[in-house]
Amino acid sequence: DTAVSQTPKYLVTQMGNDKSIKCEQNLGHDTMYWYKQDSKKFLKIMFSYNNKELIINETVPNRFSPKSPDKAHLNLHINSLELGDSAVYFCASSQGFYTDTQYFGPGTRLTVL
Amino acid sequence: AQTVTQSQPEMSVQEAETVTLSCTYDTSENNYYLFWYKQPPSRQMILVIRQEAYKQQNATENRFSVNFQKAAKSFSLKISDSQLGDTAMYFCAFMSSGTYKYIFGTGTRLKVLA
């Protein structure tokens, strides 16, 4: 009965590859987010989807593309991976777009070699 | 632009004692929310407590309570009767209804000693 799940938990890949991280929430929430946590633990929002519409698209490289097939899923695709993409990526969801508590997934540790 | 500052990179506390983690923020907005999240070694971000800026009463959640000083833009977290399971990174977060995004502090690593 996991609320927000992500797959995979660990991802090791070579530079230049394309990879995807999947996120699913079973809370019935309308909004989902992707965060990047760097090696210094700093957490920064990347994208937010509200009812399948992109609401925030922070200044991340266009190699990163979120895709939401329905409001329970928000997948993150990364093309042409670079060393600097190594980080932990968190998916989160909340009922409303603002004012509501966000529930985070367990994170995906991406290592680019 | 909003900012969130956690000035204590690391703290430690003896089991069963009380510890306070500090957080300050900067905003020109009047309506916003503040959160404390816990990140244990398992990496998952867990909501600890939340405070609405329009509420004067400090939020409490079991052993966790906050000291919210709106004028001073301060939002500290007090953990009473510390337990070994409280060992984690703690993040303070600010959310504004104007910018529609969350801003996190850099975190405080708390270690509870047996």
Domain ranges of chain A: 4-112
The rounded percent of chain B whose pLDDT value lies above 90 is: 69
Distances (CA, A) of B79 to A66, A107, B10, B30: 37, 25, 15, 27
Give me the pLDDT at residue A17, please: 97
CATH topology of domain B3-113: Immunoglobulin-like (2.60.40)
DSSP class per residue in B87-99:
-EEEEEEEEETTT
- Note whether B66 and B75 are within 8 A (CB): yes
Segment A62-94, tens digit of pLDDT: 899 999 888 899 999 999 999 999 999 999 998
B95 touches chain A (CB under 8 A): yes
CATH 3.40.50.300 fits A4-112, yes or no: no
Give me the pLDDT at residue B13, please: 97
Flag if A42 and B106 touch (Cβ within 8 Å): yes
What residues in A contact B44, CB-CB < 8 Å?
A: 104-107
Give me the pLDDT at residue B8, please: 95
B11 touches chain A (CB under 8 A): no
What residues in A contact B95, CB-CB < 8 Å?
A: 98-99
How many CA atoms does the CB half-sphere of A69 hold within 13 Å?
A: 8
Segment B62-106, tens digit of pLDDT: 999 999 999 999 999 999 999 999 999 999 999 877 666 778 999
